[in-house]
A and B are shown apart, each in its own frame.
Chain A
């Protein structure tokens, strides 16, 4: 198996360079926001293990909300971030990208503070790398190669089935389809396993997180530290009731122009990108809460939600939560199926509790109760919150456009069924229905 990994480079943009940078990034696109896989600056399509990648300019739209907390962040940097999700360790891939797309990346990063061509691109990118506080992979171990191969298999089988004779027995049909695939393709390969050190690092990381969470839980529940729970809940309610509601209506409604800048680059594919940026509520309490929750979420994503669904949501390919400016701000990025309306509908109607847990620690979020109740359930306020914090993704690459999570999982099951030997008639019928 090849577990997935992520990379993200974040560097502040030189003052006044944003406009020029936007223009340069736009030159990489086929359509507004959708990358040309063969663009000359970073030809994403050349990197066979890269699932998704994007360039986003983190220009915080919500800094004025800090005023409600009597704070300001006048010198807040505007970052350029470059991130991607890949098969196997990200380090070597980043090195390959630096080697093969070096001049393009240099042109891009030349808009960032402190970038000099002579310091070495890769070292500079590593220096500016940020690990996510939490990461989500829809199906751990499924590679780009496998996804593409199985999509071809699905199309091929549709063609082979079309010539089925009426009344062909299931076992006969299964055997015939196997024969057809053997003869006419596609060739189905088995992935080489990831390097042992990488696999070990991932597993040890999971184990350590698990042990830490378990030890923490035991310590909290079995010792006098249990008294911290009511104290925590008391403090939580005090915060929830007193956190200022920002921004005050009607400024909570994002401008038509801003929403248009986001919507105009969406829905060119069945899959879309989402990038959002906001401020964590000031003070130690919210900071501690969100650090802990993202740690726990990351663990849950690895252990419980690594097989096609994040709680009830089966439409997210990859997602990540990254602290910026030492935890002062949070960046969220995801790749999801269908339009923002359906994505938001899922958030409000299926997993409001989960969205509340993390994002209610950010400024401007609809008021929650006990961290999980209300919040996103206030659909009208939540929709405004979402668009206000969303940022346009300047460049977005998807290695398999037109394939939803459902398609990918179905195609994997189609292959599994094709390769199975002893299927009953009923099982074969169920398998045929997938095609």
Chain B
């Protein structure tokens, strides 16, 4: 049975909000230099009353408008450096403690699966590859003009315990009522899953026959039941490991304490965008619109407004609306455009969230359902290739970096996403949907924005983009150059507030 999420004061606010109203942000990659001092600061900012002018912002704090926010997350080595035992860390999922681009992760093929090859390969990264994994990341947000002071204060406060390995300033450009643009000119983060905070959904074994955007809390928060009605693998501690009783009880195992409850995993990837190269290539292909129409086809949405290219609205999608803007932006599926005539099959938004239900065909009779389950009744070959979307969603919290509309310096996106199962959510989307040259029956093309354009397997190109045409053969754009390059990244764990307090006293 799904429960409601009531412990908002134990959840870091970033799970609930991307802090869109806080215009300024900076991200700090940290290394622990003195565990005792680091833990002292951690305890101070995660307690009820912080001696500093700031503390770790909780989802509960967001009930009132905040003019600043601080969030913190740790990599597996970071948790170890604070004194959490390896045994506990190994109870996290393999992907988390194995890391995004450690030598072990590369050896087992993670980079191959994520498309981090060629120019994207960890050997070319600015940070995060091999042993260069940071211990922690601090995300700082503030109102316009408020960040510099907060940053200076935080940096001086953490100095006894942490060194700053990287400091990532962010930039932003907004349109309309605060929609944030990324550097190619599209609105970023326009489609997000909605967390089922109230626990109204109760997914279990039965198929969900319609696409929905309301997703179980357990997909984004550890310690809650997920879309399978199950709890993710995570560290549960015997009570004697938590004598002070700081941690919450585990919901699925009586008597155990849950270190990960109200926490989630954060994927951080630094993505350089070649804006000039993008528009140069596109306008050469479609001079009439200076490349705009092709860019929109590659994304699946209109430039600046974010309107989807799919024209037919699907009313009543759970978790979409009632805000009319949300209905305009997200009240659709791709079942109304099976051949990709409006929105190409390989468009970025179609790959990133194919808006599929558990079974094509929707709600029909019991017999039809049985026949479809057994495979005796099905539509065209393409109809049932893509997995059901509800098991593969992520919350995106990225911010841009580099000056907008200027030709100097690298620009890009600090891609940040949250999920409870790195393998089934972030990695699956990246591997099976974005990087996959055969997504939804295509061949020879990977994500038009993110693709690394390398042959896969050898002599099979992945650098094409096709636009299906009603009148005849697909329009085929060959030899797309690489527009986005991965420059760094790591997997972090975002602990709940009580888990932060537990970390602050661990090993004492």
For the complex, would chain A's binding face be called helix, strand, loop or mixed by DSSP majority? Answer: mixed
Q: Choose one: A266, A312, A380, A410; the contact of B384 (CB below 8 Å).
A: A312
Given contacts A269-B457, A410-B441, A435-B473, contact A342 B387 (CB under 8 A): yes
Given contacts A162-B476, A406-B438, A407-B443, contact A433 B374 (CB under 8 A): no
- Chain B CB within 10 Å — which of A269, A315, A350 has the most? A350
Q: Choose one: B339, B391, B457, B476; the contact of A270 (CB below 8 Å).
A: B457
Contacts of A353 in B (CB 8 A): 373
Q: How far is the CA of A86 from the CA of B488 in the complex (A)?
A: 46
Is A199 interfacial (CB-CB < 8 Å)? no
Residue of A nearest to B442 (CB): A406
User: Which residues 311-356 of A sit at the B interface, judged by CB distance below 8 A?
Assistant: 311-315, 337-339, 341-342, 345-346, 348-350, 353
Are B476 and A311 touching (Cβ within 8 A)?
no
Is A260 interfacial (CB-CB < 8 Å)? yes
Given contacts A373-B205, A402-B457, contact A305 B375 (CB under 8 A): yes
Interface residues as binary, B413-456 with A (CB distance below 8 Å gives 1, 0 otherwise): 00000000001100110011000111001010000000000001
Residue of A nearest to B110 (CB): A263
Q: How far is the CA of A309 from the CA of B377 in the complex (A)?
A: 11
Are B381 and A260 touching (Cβ within 8 A)?
no
Interface residues as binary, A17-59 with B (CB distance below 8 Å gives 1, 0 otherwise): 0000000000000000000000000000000000000000000
Is A250 interfacial (CB-CB < 8 Å)? yes
Contacts of B241 in A (CB 8 A): none
Q: How far is the CA of A421 from the CA of B37 in the complex (A)?
A: 81
Are B104 and A406 touching (Cβ within 8 A)?
no
Q: Choose one: B107, B384, B423, B459; the contact of A314 (CB below 8 Å).
A: B384
Is A264 interfacial (CB-CB < 8 Å)? yes
Q: How far is the CA of A406 from the CA of B205 in the complex (A)?
A: 28
Is B112 interfacial (CB-CB < 8 Å)? yes
Q: Choose one: B108, B205, B358, B423; the contact of A341 (CB below 8 Å).
A: B423
Is A377 interfacial (CB-CB < 8 Å)? yes
Is B113 interfacial (CB-CB < 8 Å)? yes
Is A379 interfacial (CB-CB < 8 Å)? yes
Contacts of B391 in A (CB 8 A): 345, 349
Q: Choose one: A264, A314, A339, A435; the contact of B381 (CB below 8 Å).
A: A314
Q: Size band of the B side of the interface?
A: 35 or more
Interface residues as binary, B183-197 with A (CB distance below 8 Å gives 1, 0 otherwise): 000000000000000
Q: How far is the CA of A304 from the CA of B339 in the complex (A)?
A: 27
Is B130 interfacial (CB-CB < 8 Å)? no
Are B98 and A256 touching (Cβ within 8 A)?
yes
Q: Choose one: B108, B109, B472; the contact of A164 (CB below 8 Å).
A: B472
Interface residues as binary, A291-320 with B (CB distance below 8 Å gives 1, 0 otherwise): 000000000000011001111111100000
Is A401 interfacial (CB-CB < 8 Å)? yes
Is B9 interfacial (CB-CB < 8 Å)? no
Is B7 interfacial (CB-CB < 8 Å)? no
Contacts of A432 in B (CB 8 A): 472-474
Contacts of B459 in A (CB 8 A): 402
User: Smallest Cβ distance from A349 to chain B, in angstroms?
Assistant: 6
Are A374 and B91 touching (Cβ within 8 A)?
no
Residue of B nearest to A154 (CB): B443
Residue of A nearest to B374 (CB): A311
Q: How far is the CA of A310 from the CA of B381 in the complex (A)?
A: 13
Given contacts A373-B205, A378-B230, contact A346 B472 (CB under 8 A): no
User: Which residues 97-120 of B sit at the A interface, judged by CB distance below 8 A?
Assistant: 97-98, 104, 107-109, 112-113
Contacts of B423 in A (CB 8 A): 341
Are B472 and A339 touching (Cβ within 8 A)?
no
Are B381 and A406 touching (Cβ within 8 A)?
yes
Are A349 and B468 touching (Cβ within 8 A)?
no
Contacts of B471 in A (CB 8 A): 429
Given contacts A162-B476, A309-B378, contact A406 B385 (CB under 8 A): yes
Are B438 and A173 touching (Cβ within 8 A)?
no
User: Smallest Cβ distance from B488 to chain A, in angstroms?
Assistant: 23
Q: How far is the CA of A53 from the CA of B356 in the complex (A)?
A: 35
Are B372 and A260 touching (Cβ within 8 A)?
no
Interface residues as binary, A399-423 with B (CB distance below 8 Å gives 1, 0 otherwise): 0011010110110000000000000
Are B456 and A270 touching (Cβ within 8 A)?
yes
Is A78 interfacial (CB-CB < 8 Å)? no
User: Smallest Cβ distance from A12 to chain B, in angstroms?
Assistant: 30
Q: How far is the CA of A131 from the CA of B437 in the complex (A)?
A: 36
Are B474 and A433 touching (Cβ within 8 A)?
yes
Are B428 and A341 touching (Cβ within 8 A)?
yes
Is B232 interfacial (CB-CB < 8 Å)? yes
Is B470 interfacial (CB-CB < 8 Å)? yes
Are A259 and B108 touching (Cβ within 8 A)?
yes
Q: How far is the CA of A311 from the CA of B431 in the complex (A)?
A: 24
Are A311 and B375 touching (Cβ within 8 A)?
yes
Are B432 and A338 touching (Cβ within 8 A)?
yes
Are B375 and A312 touching (Cβ within 8 A)?
yes
Q: Size band of the A side of the interface?
A: 35 or more
Contacts of A346 in B (CB 8 A): 387
Interface residues as binary, B379-418 with A (CB distance below 8 Å gives 1, 0 otherwise): 0011011011001000000000000000000000000000
- Chain B CB within 10 Å — which of A164, A305, A339, A378 has the most? A339
Is A124 interfacial (CB-CB < 8 Å)? no
Q: How far is the CA of A269 from the CA of B388 in the complex (A)?
A: 24
Contacts of B378 in A (CB 8 A): 309, 312
Contacts of A256 in B (CB 8 A): 90, 94, 97-98, 104
Q: How far is the CA of A338 from the CA of B386 in the complex (A)?
A: 12
User: Which residues 124-182 of A sit at the B interface, judged by CB distance below 8 A?
Assistant: 158, 161-162, 164, 168, 170, 173
Q: How far is the CA of A346 from the CA of B385 in the complex (A)?
A: 9
Are B428 and A345 touching (Cβ within 8 A)?
yes
Q: How far is the CA of A411 from the CA of B47 in the complex (A)?
A: 63
Are B339 and A337 touching (Cβ within 8 A)?
no
Contacts of A236 in B (CB 8 A): none
Residue of A nearest to B341 (CB): A433
Given contacts A304-B376, A312-B372, contact A341 B431 (CB under 8 A): yes
Q: How far is the CA of A402 from the CA of B424 in the complex (A)?
A: 24
Are B107 and A260 touching (Cβ within 8 A)?
yes
Are B384 and A341 touching (Cβ within 8 A)?
no
Contacts of A268 in B (CB 8 A): 112, 457
Are B205 and A377 touching (Cβ within 8 A)?
yes
Are A263 and B387 touching (Cβ within 8 A)?
no
Contacts of B438 in A (CB 8 A): 270, 337-338, 404, 406-407
Residue of A nearest to B469 (CB): A433
Are A406 and B441 touching (Cβ within 8 A)?
yes
User: Which residues 177-217 of B sit at the A interface, judged by CB distance below 8 A?
Assistant: 205
Are A270 and B437 touching (Cβ within 8 A)?
yes
Interface residues as binary, A366-393 with B (CB distance below 8 Å gives 1, 0 otherwise): 0000000110011110000000000000
Are B375 and A260 touching (Cβ within 8 A)?
no
Q: How far is the CA of A269 from the CA of B456 in the complex (A)?
A: 7
Is B153 interfacial (CB-CB < 8 Å)? no
Q: How far is the CA of A337 from the CA of B381 in the complex (A)?
A: 15
User: Smallest Cβ distance from A389 to chain B, in angstroms?
Assistant: 17
Q: How far is the CA of A313 from the CA of B373 in the complex (A)?
A: 10
Is A267 interfacial (CB-CB < 8 Å)? yes
Is A253 interfacial (CB-CB < 8 Å)? yes
Residue of A nearest to B358 (CB): A349
Contacts of B107 in A (CB 8 A): 260, 264
Contacts of A404 in B (CB 8 A): 438, 443
Contacts of A304 in B (CB 8 A): 376
Residue of B nearest to A310 (CB): B375
Residue of B nearest to A30 (CB): B458
Residue of B nearest to A308 (CB): B381
Which 6 pairs show the lowest CB-CB distances between chains A and B? A311-B375, A402-B460, A260-B108, A263-B108, A432-B473, A269-B457
23 contacts between A and B (CB under 8 A): A264-B108, A270-B438, A270-B457, A309-B375, A338-B438, A341-B423, A341-B431, A345-B428, A349-B388, A350-B359, A350-B384, A377-B205, A377-B228, A380-B231, A401-B460, A402-B456, A402-B457, A406-B381, A410-B441, A432-B472, A433-B469, A435-B473, A435-B474
Known A-B contacts: A339-B432, A350-B384, A374-B205. Give 7 more (CB < 8 A). A270-B457, A308-B381, A309-B378, A310-B375, A312-B359, A341-B428, A406-B441
